[in-house]
Amino acid sequence: MESLGLQVSVDAMGNLRGSPINREIPRLLIGSHIDTVPNAGAYDGVLGVLLGLALVDACRPMELPFGIELMAFSEEEGVRFRLPFLGSRALAGDVNSRLLSVRDANGISMEEAIFAFGLNPQQMEEARLSDDTFAFLEFHIEQGPVLEKAGLPLAAVEAIAGQSRVTVVFVGSANHVGTTPMDLRRDALAAAAEWIIAVETFARAADGCVATVGRLQVLPGASNVVPGEVTASLDVRHASNAERKSATDFLLQRAQDICDRRELACSFRTDLEQSSVPMSPELVTAVEHAIAAAGVTPKRMVSGAGHDAMILAQVVPSAMIFLRSPGGISHHPDESVLVEDVEKAILAGINFLEHLARRQ
């Protein structure tokens, strides 16, 4: 960033920012995230930051009527505090005392973690998006098989699916496995297992819906003890907010029904309700034209994964360009990208910048 003439800073949420020196002209924000998930690949998020760097470098000979601010968002994945998009929330002005009080698995609050990192959460307001920012562009790998199946390197994202994340707790009764007859057991793990299959069965039959149980905590966790308590995660996604809510309600009712039949108790805690977010129609069209000008057949698609763009789109017109994910693999060490697709993405990005320049 420094070598490209940007002013580099780190804001109160840990976002790495490269700002144009000339603050008197409008600015386009380009970026993605640099945090990752356990056992991750090398491209999710980071590729979008590097493509932003490439575009800043490529446009230096161009006389653009706007500046480019480059952003490397922190904590998009939400691994530590189980809440995603923290970096982009700061830009959107959506960080409050309740959010800062959330604690990680070790009991450390977000506010304490920010202080420990050497930043000041009391300066969070200064992280807000600049008023002269007129648009946001994010490049990202697709993280799925759609583009590869279509034989295409790029796509314009027209919307990002909403997410519901719920913690479900099954409570039975722990007991000795050798002395407790099968018909007298209140096995929390068996109930959770039945429910997990019900989640998969429902989502397979529901058009446009994906639902996942990705985390289980079993107590007491001994091989010779009937599981007395299981904490499970539920992640439901759909492009339609109404369909997502209906699916989530149905799956939670299935958990309750299973527990009632097995004489167990269950409870639910909503961790995230993220509405589906459309990208700017004008910018989606501009991305399509930019992709076509790069020699690629344009395609529109909905993102099933959440991205910083869904937060920024609530405060500034936003657009996304997807790159093909070979094998449809992501959140895994085998995650990859094709060099020729990256080249096409840079060309499409330059075309997009030229379009914005003509529009300004």
The confidence score (pLDDT) of residue 61 equals: 86
Give residue limits of the domains in the chain: 2-161+276-359, 162-274
Q: Is the pLDDT of residue 208 over 90?
A: no
Write down the pTM of the prediction: 0.82
Residue with tokens 């000339």: 22
pLDDT value for 36: 93
Superfamily of domain 2-161+276-359: Zn peptidases (3.40.630.10)
Q: Is the pLDDT of residue 23 over 90?
A: no
Q: How far apart are CA 74 and CA 85, in angstroms?
A: 8
Strand partners, 237: 163, 210
Average pLDDT over residues 205-222: 96
Instruction: Give me the phi and psi of 340, to 5 degrees please.
Output: -65, -30
CATH of 162-274, one of 3.40.50.170, 3.30.70.360, 3.30.420.40, 3.40.50.720: 3.30.70.360
Per-residue model confidence as pLDDT tens digits over 238-274 = 989 999 999 999 999 999 999 999 999 999 999 989 8
Give exposure, 222-241, as e/b (b: 16+ Cβ within 10 Å): eeeebbbbbbbbbbbbbbeb
User: Would the CATH topology of 2-161+276-359 be identical to that of 162-274?
Assistant: no
Residues 188 and 229: beta-carbon distance below 8 Å: yes
Positions of E strands within 142-295: 154-160, 162-171, 175-176, 210-212, 216-219, 225-226, 229-238, 265-274, 277-278
Which residue has tokens 């979008």? 48
